[in-house]
Amino acid sequence: MKVYNTLSRKKEEFVPLEEGKVSMYVCGPTVYNLIHIGNARPMIVFDTVRRYMEHKGYEVNYVSNFTDVDDKIIKKANEEGTDASVISERYIAECKKDMEALNVKPATTHPKATCEIDGMIDMINTLIDKGHAYAAEDGTVYFKTRSFAEYGKLSHKNLDDLRSGERSLLVSGEDQKHDPLDFVLWKPKKEGEPFWTAPWCEGRPGWHIECSVMSKKYLGDEIDIHAGGEDLIFPHHENEIAQSEAANGKPFAKYWMHNGFLNIDNKKMSKSLGNFFTVRDISEKYDLQVLRFFMLSAHYRSPLNFSAELMEAAKNGLDRIVTSVSNLNFLMESADEREMSETEAQLITEAKGFVDKFDEAMDDDFNTADAVSAIFELVKFANTHADAASGRAFLQALKEEIVMLSDICGLIVERKQEMLDEEIEVLIQERQEARKAKNFARADEIRNILTDKGIILEDTREGVKWKRA
Ligand code: AMP
Ligand code: ZN
């Protein structure tokens, strides 16, 4: 499996630090509003990376933060006359709803910056002790950028070029930096802002330190993959590297992955231009699976243009897969129960060729555009070869391949039919009777039927209880 590493600007063979395991940190949203479709791109893209790795057998520890202390959150809280935490909790809940609708798996851990302040203070202390940071008179703590010799290695920037670009800061007189390149680790509180007690002053952290700290706490000093949108390469990720490597004395992330930007009508999507859509806006017109499919139809590193025509094309593309699966289901209802014929077995071997094509595309730096094409080819193949004369086993095998590949992309192409309460009760009753009659095979079979339909059974002392997953 090859992964493009922003650090080396090359595709590299993926070799995890620990065999069979992947540790992955994805910078999450600042929660002051409903997420927009640009924020959804890294969520969908890196969820797909995770799903593919899990499919390959890796155990993935996936951490994605919520930035819940920030100027924009505080501004919104002041406008509404409430606490910053009320705003951030509201939009974390809304973000989780959008993620679920996009079929983005919850992270193994979703840490919040405000719950990790002690860790941030510890890391800042370490940086001061090691001579990489200093506190100014007003209590602001700065990272001494020039003390980290490799600064600029991710964004491929040269410190002296940066310095000439930042000249305006030198004359601003607004801060007490020793060098205009130094960046904030901790800043003093201002009127109306949340604050925490720290050795330097009452205040709050700068933005970059949270990710270094959360990544270390939940994944360790060295991790496999660190990811986010390409706008984060500089300064956010460059600063994270400086903080983590200076504090821990070890390389931070082995692979740095960045998604390209989502534009609207070929223009940069921006709140100030008013040309942005929230995920919620899109959900009014489309099933969010269509948005997910649209995002995966391009390579994750390419810029992607959002337009009504492209969304319609995505809708049609997804429909083709869904229709093929429902057609296979329909044929299966009346299909012969016989074993696969030789010809059918041969066709399934041929169909696996499309699965190999899918894997090849994904192994090449997660080329979802080509992977989706392989699904289309498989669908076309299924549509050509499945008919009323096909056996059930053959139809089932074809369907399983399509559903498996779609599932790796996080695309739901088969809606489980909702079961009515009465149907569930009847099956539970039958299961009880089967158990009494010691017919455990039938009892297990019924449990499996219910699990497939998303019904969870719980055997309690008062009897069997059930709920929908
Ligand atoms: P933010 O809330 O601005 O920190 O963004 C959260 C994540 O969304 C980061 O990984 C950003 O890089 C990413 N992001 C923001 N806008 C876009 C966009 N228009 N296209 C792609 N990714 C974006
Ligand atoms: Zn981050």
Annotate 374-392 with DSSP letters as a single string: HHHHHHHHHHHH--TTSBH
In angstroms, the CA 299 to CA 365 distance is 9
Q: What percentage of the chain exceeds 90 in pLDDT?
A: 83
Ligand 1, atom nearest to 227 Cα: 10
Task: State in Å: Cα 38 to ligand 1 middle.
Answer: 6
Using a 6 Å CB cutoff, which residues line ligand 1?
Answer: 27, 29-30, 38-39, 41-42, 228-229, 231-232, 259, 261-262, 269
Q: How many CB atoms lie within 10 A of CB 92?
A: 16
Q: Where are the beta strands (DSSP E) in 6-58?
A: 10-13, 21-26
Task: State in Å: Cα 131 to ligand 2 middle.
Answer: 23
Whose Cα sits closest to atom 12 in ligand 1? 229
Q: What percentage of the chain exceeds 70 in pLDDT?
A: 97
Which residues fall within 8 angstroms of residue 20, CB to CB, at 6 or more apart?
57, 58, 59
- Over the stretch 4-17, which tens digit does the pLDDT of each residue have? 999 999 999 999 99
Starting from the CA of residue 275, give the closest ligand.
Answer: 1
Is there a common fold for 17-289 and 308-408? no
Rounded to an integer, the average pLDDT of 350-365 is 98
Ordered by start, the domain boundaries in the chain are 17-289, 308-408, 422-468
Superfamily of domain 17-289: HUPs (3.40.50.620)
Ligand 1, atom nearest to 232 Cα: 12
**pLDDT recorded at residue 421:** 82
Rounded to an integer, the average pLDDT of 364-371 is 98
- Over the stretch 409-464, which tens digit does the pLDDT of each residue have? 999 999 776 777 888 889 999 999 999 999 998 988 888 888 878 788 888 888 88
Has residue 163 got a pLDDT over 50? Answer: yes
Q: How many CB atoms lie within 10 A of CB 201?
A: 17
**pLDDT recorded at residue 19:** 98
167: pLDDT confidence band, cut at 50, 70 and 90?
A: low
C-alpha dihedral sign at 347, 350, 354, 359: positive
Whose Cα sits closest to atom 17 in ligand 1? 38
**pLDDT recorded at residue 172:** 46
| pLDDT-wise least confident of 45-59, 215-229, 261-275, 360-374 | 261-275
| pLDDT-wise least confident of 188-202, 204-218, 449-463 | 449-463
- Nearest Cα to Cα of residue 192 among 26, 71, 360: 71
Give, for 229, the enclosing helix (H) or strand (E).
strand 223-229
| CATH ID of 308-408, from 3.40.50.1470, 3.40.640.10, 1.20.120.640, 3.40.109.10 | 1.20.120.640
In angstroms, the CA 246 to CA 104 distance is 34
Ligand 1, atom nearest to 39 Cα: 8
Backbone φ, ψ for residue 249 (5° rounding): 65, 25
Angle at 364 between CA 362 and CA 234, to 5 degrees: 100
Amino acid type, 56: K
Task: State in Å: Cα 459 to ligand 2 middle.
Answer: 44
pTM: 0.89
In angstroms, the CA 269 to CA 415 distance is 33
| pLDDT-wise least confident of 235-249, 269-283, 312-326, 368-382 | 269-283
